[in-house]
Structure 1
Amino acid sequence: MRLPSKPESLFWAILAMVMLLTACTMNNNEDDIWTWGNYPELGTGPVEFKVVPLEDGTFNEITPMGHMNLPQHPIPTSAGGFSFLSNGYSQPVKAPADGVITAIRYTHVFNVDGTKSFPDYAVRIYHTNTFITWYDHLSAIDDTILAKTGTLAEGWTKAYVPVKAGDVFGKTAASSEQVTGLGMYAYDKEKTLDFINPEKYGPFGAHAVFAFDYFRNDIKTQLFAYIKRTAEPRGGKIDFDVAGTLSGNWIVEGSNVISSPNPWNYWLSFSYDMYYPESRRISIGVELGTTIGKSNGILTQPVEGPDYTAARTGSDPVRYKLADAMEGLSSLPATSDIKYTLLAQVVEENKIKVELFDGNIDNPSFTENAKYYTR
């Protein structure tokens, strides 16, 4: 699913797996931007989805979790959802299960060349106090919902609008120039991913689950036929942290990826392709990329270099020779494809020293351009 290229909202400054919700008028003041809400009437636990949000024949692929796209998605994200066929635009979007719409975001996004602006909405549904879904890149909110929320201002509007499974709450993107799919995310507070420090991912990110796992079995079987990834788990994987090794996500030492206006800048990830988990990826965020003039960061794949878990605390620096990578492409790059060299050392259990070099360097050594990362 291709995302818009020039967002106007601060929302786009936050990783897709970190949902920031700004406070507006509501009768539940506990439900603010950094906490889970408290709706006693909803109970707890996951729910079973009984309705597909989009009509059959409007989409041709369901994307797993693990999307990476520099600069704004430098680590594997929980961004999964539907990719449209040509008739997938301006189509109704339905609630998959009963719940309550508690927040709606209204902003604008631009097309790739920045010449057109499109209204763009996101909707959050609490199905229980511990299980929510999230829908991104709508072109409109249904009138039945607006009748209860009133006119939406730019930014986040809090709401309390009960919906039943099958109720229409919005429409898909109006044009491929807005976006080519519908993001559908799910977060289960009772499950926590294997990140070294889950709190680094905000209140929701470390609780990301694959939404399509929660459909009724007969529906799930049909939907999984649209997933290109054949490896298990079919819904993808985003948590690769292994303490004392390079594997997983890292943050520039001393930076704050929660409160910074540009949190994506500070990440580095030793992970794997969302479709082909045998294909290694080293996603180099803006801070490290800029040291060799790559101001948007770089998604790369190792041509040479050890397994991520082979580099351990106190071991000598390891060298990776890197080629450019493309998401969803299982390739075997050759020596002639090498464009960069990365030197990395695990100096403490959750601290590494890295340096990026332009070109194919046989015997690199750390210089003053090296950076320290922590988790």
Structure 2
Amino acid sequence: MGISRALPGRWVFLGIVVAAVTACATGTGEPSFETEAPTARPGSPIAVPTPLPTAADGSTPAPSPTPVSSPGDPIVPIPTPTVTHDAPSALPTLEPLPTYSPSVSGGSDQQDGSDPPPSGAQNPWSFVSDRQCGDGPLFSSFPMDLDVVPNLSPLGAVNPPGHTFPTSHMYFAVPVIWGEVGEGPFGDGQIFPPTPVYAVADGQLSSLSISTVTTSLSGEVVSYTEYGFDLAVCEGIRVRYGHVGPVSDRILESVEGLEGFNCNAYSTGDFAVDGCTYAPFLDLAAGEQVGFNSGRAAALDIGVFDTITQTIDFLHPELVGEEATGSLCLLDQYSPEQSAELAALLGNGELLRTANPICGVLNFDLPGTLRGNWFNDVSTFSNEDLNIAFVYDQVIPDQPIISIGFVPGIDSAAHMFTPEDEGRVNLRFAEVAAGDGVYCYENLRDRFDRVHPDKHLLVEIPEPGRLLVQAAVGASCGEGPWQLDADATEFLR
């Protein structure tokens, strides 16, 4: 569905009825998962899973991130509808994001070093709470009433072009009312009524982003206001909320008279965004209502990260931001009892994630192979619309996904296929090596299990760190060998 980088704080909004839970996974080698198939939600035809095992401290293990091989063909989830786009034939025009300033402490969210907070104001990006985290659970309240939450999608959901790479925040799916076709923010009849949103812990509202978003995703041009904010809990621990609106009167009053900063206007995917950030440093209490979901997205965005500790080792940490490099597992921040409540919703609405790491995976990068994130430009922190990723489903860890932000001639979408263990057609990503010629991916299908009618994908890694990709006519690869021509798109890492 539509995505927009709707807040200056680097949120990329994902309009799908999923929710993501973060995982702390490190390393760039060949990691492994438990070989465990997804399990059906209670009430579905497949058996209900056993309760999530939890350590005494409520944590879940976080081995290095890599998909597993499991017996049989991968199960394809049945997600909510998504909007497809015509296959692009030329590079889309995108307004550049502000320059990333890595010199700012904790600051991949400080996007423009020339636009700091007003003189004398505390910088929310470098702010470290003087509250000590201690040894107990950090969170005591859920961001939404779990009785109305259909599901939480694990870390790593993709939804190109805005979320071409696995997402570093979670999604609390919101209730849906079905209206007539043409109604709702996506024009498909889905309506998302106001649902209260709460502070997960005591903390300070260190930043509040207010954005005007314009889109024609529903078929008509509309503009609306959305809010996002950071809750500084303790030391460097942050909770980032997105797709909120309206916020509480108390929060709005806290920014009255404050000067906005980090103001910028840009576009991504189907959205144009114009917003500013404020630094109110308002004290919030666990369980305090901070507002409602915006009604413009199918999920509430929640991310947990540490601004002073790198928890995941990406090949290019400077290009993915602190939400990813400092990502923390949401479940680990609660008591074992509350963590188990969240785990019971951890899936896509039909299937539960049961593989470890239970929170999901962000980093699939495996140097010298096809697997992982590839960039259109490695010189600067930019949006994901022009990138590509060869990753795995956040609920079904053996289901490969080619997440295409931009390749001429093929839809910007998450393309799935049935993997093979040998040969040059549909080979698993980790087996495609640099300098080993052209490989082909065929019978690409969308999230509804519909095969792409007329395109397959050719890929080649001529040398480590350089990838060529080209869409070709026909759903199947035909007989190889294949060749790429001068129109192939280059990606780097």
TM-score category (smaller protein): 0.7 to 0.9
Written as runs of structure 1 = structure 2, the 5 A alignment for 1:1-375 is: 19=109, 23-25=116-118, 27=120, 29-32=122-125, 36-39=126-129, 41-43=130-132, 48-86=138-176, 89-109=193-213, 110=215, 112-150=218-256, 154-173=275-294, 175=295, 178-189=296-307, 190-228=309-347, 229-232=352-355, 233-252=357-376, 254=377, 256=379, 258=381, 260=382, 263-286=383-406, 288=407, 290=408, 292=409, 294=410, 297-303=412-418, 304-326=425-447, 339-359=454-474, 360-362=476-478, 363=480, 364-375=482-493
Considering fraction of residues, name the structure with more helix.
1
CA distance in 1, matches of 2:250, 2:483: 63
More strand by share: 1
Q: Do the aligned residues in 1 keep the contact of 2:156 with 2:168 (CA within 8 Å)?
A: yes
Cα distance, 1:9 vs structure 2 = 5.9
Rounded to whole Å, the distance in 2 between the matches of 1:196 and 1:83 is: 31
Q: Is the 8 A contact 2:368 2:433 kept in 1?
A: yes
- What fraction of aligned residue pairs are identical, expressed as a percent? 20
Q: Check the 8 A contact 1:236/1:274 in 2, yes or no.
A: yes
Cα distance in 2 for residues equivalent to 1:247 and 1:5: 24
Quick one: structure 1 residues 226 and 27, their matched pair in 2 at CA, closer, same or farther if it must change by over 3 Å? farther
SS in 2 for 1:133: strand
User: 1:56/1:30 Cα in 2 relative to 1: closer, same or farther (>3 Å)?
Assistant: closer
What secondary structure does 1:37 align onto?
Answer: coil
The whole-number CA distance in structure 1 between the counterparts of 2:120 and 2:152 is 36
SS at match of 2:158: strand
**Partner Cα separation in structure 2 for residue 354 and residue 45 of structure 1:** 49
Flag the 1:337–1:372 CA change in 2: closer, same or farther, 3 A.
closer
Range that drifts further, 198-207 or 44-53: 44-53
Maintained 8 Å contact 2:6/2:12 = no
**Distance in 1 between residues matched to 2:283 and 2:232, nearest whole Å:** 9
CA distance in 1, matches of 2:119, 2:338: 35
Structure 2 distance, partners of 1:134, 1:9, is: 11
Whichever residue aligns with residue 325 of structure 1, its letter is: D
RMSD of the TM alignment (CA)? 3.1
| Residue 27 to residue 212, structure 1, CA distance change in 2 (3 Å) | farther
How far apart, CA to CA, are the structure 1 residues paired with 2:442 and 2:302? 36
What are structure 2's unaligned runs of at least 5 residues? 15-21, 23-107, 178-191, 261-274, 419-424
CA contact (8 A) 2:4 2:13 kept: no
Secondary structure at the counterpart of residue 199 of structure 1: helix
SS of the aligned residue for 1:60 comes to coil
Is contact 1:103-1:158 (8 Å) kept? yes
Cα distance in 2, alignment partners of residues 371 and 162 from structure 1: 49
Q: Distance in 2 between matches of 1:238 and 1:271?
A: 9
Instruction: Using structure 1 for the length normalisation, give the TM-score.
Output: 0.82
Aligned length: 351
Distance 2:489 2:193 in 1: 44
* Structure 1 residue runs without a partner (length 5+): none
| Counterpart-to-counterpart distance in 1, 2:400 and 2:293 | 33
Q: TM-score, normalised by structure 2?
A: 0.64
Distance 1:257 1:67, change over 3 A: farther
